[in-house]
């Protein structure tokens, strides 16, 4: 504690799965020191009461959420709170000089009316919300470097947008034909007890949820519209699959030029992500699996073209808790601080 050479970090909402992933990554990051862990229901408890496996590494207690205390100790603050709470804290923290990375949906939207429509909370922080940057480094790297407030993307949008970006940016598909079929492990539902996440409910079963109304839909559409230069709507259907971590998003769309073949698209994707070390474009006939990305900040992308239907099929695999959440937030932190983008982020999976 108190090492002046390291940047002091606070995590608010440290008790969830995103919080414990941040602990894992930041404890091994060479440039930072965690000095504050904040929570509500867990305030006053040693953090290791929540996660005993960290008893040899973490000696901090969870403290009540107090913005004055946070700002006095921390240069950077991660907010891992339920939707609708970060927007009450972030403006004060930014005003007090903190850099803030919000893992909820509160600062992902340019239009707060869209946020209110989908998340049912009226907002009064329009001024600071306009300054927030969407935290997907592969698309908004330079903007992230210059920002003090990052709205970190959702896990489904991360996998989906990385799959779609080259196609939309270069006008290679008919945008309204885009269909996203995505599957996530149960950790995406958080740590709070929920009946549908019980082993007896989720095991040996696969089902869709949030069909035609999932909250990540407008987030995906916002970025897709930005890339395409006009309004884009997509069909997004998420599924719960009986595994702990990982997302596989399979994206289908009609090609504008049916003469494009798989090798062409692999070349295009490779060029688009040539400066993005965490995106791995797979060779011909290799399709990604979630296990490959487990525990890493990587996104594996496989590409296929069906000449019979003139469609491209793009498969994108990530760890929902790392590249889909905490790891991506650390990636943004590295950019904000002027460090190597990959600093402290794992690139080799837990395998098998």
Catalytic residues: 155
The DSSP symbol for 339 reads S
Residue with tokens 């808790």: 321
Can you spell out the DSSP letters for 188-212?
GG-SS--GGGSHHHHTT--EE-STT
Residue 268 is encoded by which pair of tokens?
Answer: 């295009």
The gap from C-alpha 15 to its chain's centroid, in whole angstroms, comes to 18
Q: How far apart are CA 263 and CA 253, in angstroms?
A: 17
- Residue among 102, 99, 151, 107 nearest 125 (CA): 107
What is the CA angle 318-320-322, rounded to 5? 85
DSSP reduced 3-state for 276? coil
Query: Using only C-alpha atoms, what is the Rg of the chain?
Result: 20
């Amino acid at each position: 504690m108190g090492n002046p050479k390291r940047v002091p970090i606070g995590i608010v909402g440290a008790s969830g799965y995103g919080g414990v992933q941040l602990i894992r990554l930041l404890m091994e990051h060479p440039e930072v020191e965690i000095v504050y862990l904040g929570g509500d229901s867990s305030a006053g408890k040693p953090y290791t009461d929540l996660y005993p496996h960290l008893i040899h590494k973490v000696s901090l207690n969870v403290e009540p959420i107090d913005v004055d205390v946070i700002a006095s100790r921390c240069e950077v603050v991660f907010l891992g709170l339920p939707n609708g709470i970060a927007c009450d804290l972030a403006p004060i923290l930014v005003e007090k000089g903190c850099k803030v990375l919000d893992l909820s949906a509160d600062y992902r939207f340019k239009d707060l009316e869209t946020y209110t429509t989908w998340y049912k909370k009226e907002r009064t922080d329009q001024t600071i919300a306009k300054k927030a940057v969407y935290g997907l480094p592969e698309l908004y790297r330079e903007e992230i470097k210059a920002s003090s407030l990052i709205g970190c993307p959702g896990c489904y949008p991360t996998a989906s947008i990385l799959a779609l970006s080259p196609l939309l940016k270069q006008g290679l598909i008919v945008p309204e034909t885009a269909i996203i079929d995505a599957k996530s492990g149960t950790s995406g539902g958080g740590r709070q007890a929920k009946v549908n996440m019980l082993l007896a409910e989720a095991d040996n079963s696969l089902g869709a949820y949030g069909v035609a109304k999932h909250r990540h839909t407008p987030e995906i559409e916002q970025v897709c519209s930005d890339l395409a230069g006009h309004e884009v709507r997509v069909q997004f259907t998420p599924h719960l699959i009986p595994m702990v971590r990982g997302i596989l998003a399979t994206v289908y769309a009609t090609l504008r030029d049916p003469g494009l073949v798989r090798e062409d698209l692999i070349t295009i994707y490779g060029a688009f992500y040539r400066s993005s070390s965490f995106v791995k474009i797979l060779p011909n006939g290799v399709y990604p699996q979630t296990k490959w990305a487990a525990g890493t900040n990587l996104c594996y992308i496989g590409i296929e073209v069906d000449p019979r239907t003139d469609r491209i099929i793009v498969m994108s695999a990530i760890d929902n808790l790392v590249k889909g959440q905490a790891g991506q937030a650390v990636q943004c932190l590295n950019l904000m601080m002027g460090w190597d983008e990959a600093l402290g982020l794992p690139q080799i999976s837990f395998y098998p």
